[in-house]
Structure 1
Amino acid sequence: MSVAPKASTPSWPTPPEGGWTADDLDRLPNLPPHTELIDGSLVFASPQTLFHSRAVDFFNWQLQSVAPEDLEVVREFTSDLDRQNRPEPDVVVVRGDVVEDPGQTRFPADAVVLAIEVVSEDSVSRDRETNPLKYARAKIPHYWRVENENGRAAVHTFELEPTTGTYTSTGIHRERMKMDVPFPVDLDLTRIRARRDKEQ
């Protein structure tokens, strides 16, 4: 006698009326790593490209080496923008006084000095349109967007304009990125490549 296999039921959580909240991200079981909350909806991360991984590593380590002592640089960590938005910038710079203990899962938006997003195929509209609007509304002073231009990094930098509450472009950087804010940096962007490419 053959037994028909049971149909598998989806294990995705069903959102409550009004959508998920920032607190729900810490309570929902079995969420994939790097799940974000955007407008009350869960956003799952796609597999990373090699460029994405190298760019995140580059900015994480480079900024850690030059950031002032009162700031902390953390990769892939969520920030509470409001009740229904808890995105996870690829790299974030925050005031050191909010880095409280190894068990914390998020930072308050008012402690974020700089948010960096490395654009992926599935995050283009979020990184170019949705997230910058939300970061600006949360009064995050600086936003950097890293684009992949044929394997080379192009970094679009933005600063919050206090009177309008929106970001204004402060430049597009290729090969070298020299900035005075939020703290002085002088970065060789050509290092965001495979090692063998550096020898060519």
Structure 2
Amino acid sequence: MGGTMTAEPLPTTSWPVPPPDGYTVDDLLTLPDLPPHTELIDGSLVFVSPQRDFHSVMIDLLVSGLRRTVPAEFRVRREMTVVIDKRNGPEPDISVVRADAVRSGEQTYYQVSDVMLAVEVVSPESEARDHDTKPHKYANAGIPYFWRVERAHAGERPVVHVFQLDPETRAYRPTGVHHDRLKLSVPFTVDIDLADIDNL
């Protein structure tokens, strides 16, 4: 057969090449065009999969429930970066932060020392991070309370696993598992009907 074959040029991608020592929190906060909810874990950028409906409505349910009873010296925030150190800027699904840490409507992060409670709603793609990596980092950084929210099976109501920091070991110890109602007295009075997710 006659004719010549020409190689098609390979498509070029615009993925950033990580610096030799990994990314820093400064990069996370200033790199243009990062997808929403990008996290920094151990110097690596973590991109989040599209949010599932359960994830979204569970965050709404907990945020509104927490805001009903949160003391005046705290604020409830969803999906904000928490700066742990130079190489770690995770984004809890919900954070309860000290009110005086809220400086302006323009701020894009909070310092870990201002966070009293971090909440992660588990997605299939974030399971390992939400069960292991992130709670370990939150505990080591001194966040006093951690909640992990998941569904045992599709279609089932949420289960909230509640943890409190042991300051000696810098690790979380489980303090309860809540199925239908999240009723707690620490870190402040909380009473959220988890069955309300059926109406959202």
**TM bucket normalised to smaller:** over 0.9
Give the aligned residue type for 1:184: T
Is residue 123 of structure 2 the alignment partner of residue 113 of structure 1? no
Cα distance in 2 for residues equivalent to 1:20 and 1:59: 32
Q: Which of 167, 185, 194 is the aligned partner of 1:189?
A: 194
Q: What does 1:49-198 correspond to in 2, within 5 Å?
A: 49-150=52-153, 151-194=156-199
Please give the alpha-carbon distance, in whole angstroms, between the structure 1 residues aligned to 2:18 and 2:82: 21
Distance in 1 of aligned mates of 2:54 and 2:151? 7
* 3-state DSSP of counterpart to 2:150: strand
The separation in 2 between residues aligned to 1:15 and 1:112, in whole angstroms, is 29
TM-score between the two structures when normalised by the length of structure 2:
0.93
> Deviation per CA, 1:60-93, whole angstroms, max 9, x where unpaired?
1111121011100010001001111100000100
Counterpart of 2:35 in structure 1 is 32
Task: Verify the 8 A CA contact 2:65 2:191 in the aligned structure 1.
Answer: no
Q: Aligned pair count?
A: 193
* Secondary structure of 1:23 counterpart: helix
- State the 4+ residue runs in structure 1 displaced beyond 2 angstroms: 3-8
Question: Normalising by the residue count of structure 1, what TM-score does the alignment of the two structures yield?
Answer: 0.93
Q: Amino acid of the residue matched to residue 52 of structure 2?
A: T
Rounded to whole Å, the distance in 2 between the matches of 1:191 and 1:42 is: 35
Consecutive unaligned residues of structure 1, counting only runs of 5 or more, are: 196-200
Inter-partner Cα distance in structure 1 for 2:93 and 2:198 = 18
Question: Which structure has the larger Rg over C-alpha atoms?
Answer: 2
- Structure 2 regions of 5+ residues with no counterpart? 1-5
State yes or no: 1:22 paired with 2:22: no
**Could you tell me whether the CA contact under 8 Å between 1:54 and 1:193 is conserved in 2?**
no
In 2, the alpha carbon distance for the partners of 1:134 and 1:192 equals: 29
> In structure 1, how many angstroms separate the alpha carbons of the residues matched to 2:19 and 2:162?
37
Alpha-carbon distance in structure 2 between the residues aligned to 1:50 and 1:90:
14
**RMSD of the alignment, in Å?**
1.4
Q: Give the 3-state SS of the residue equivalent to 1:191 in structure 2.
A: helix
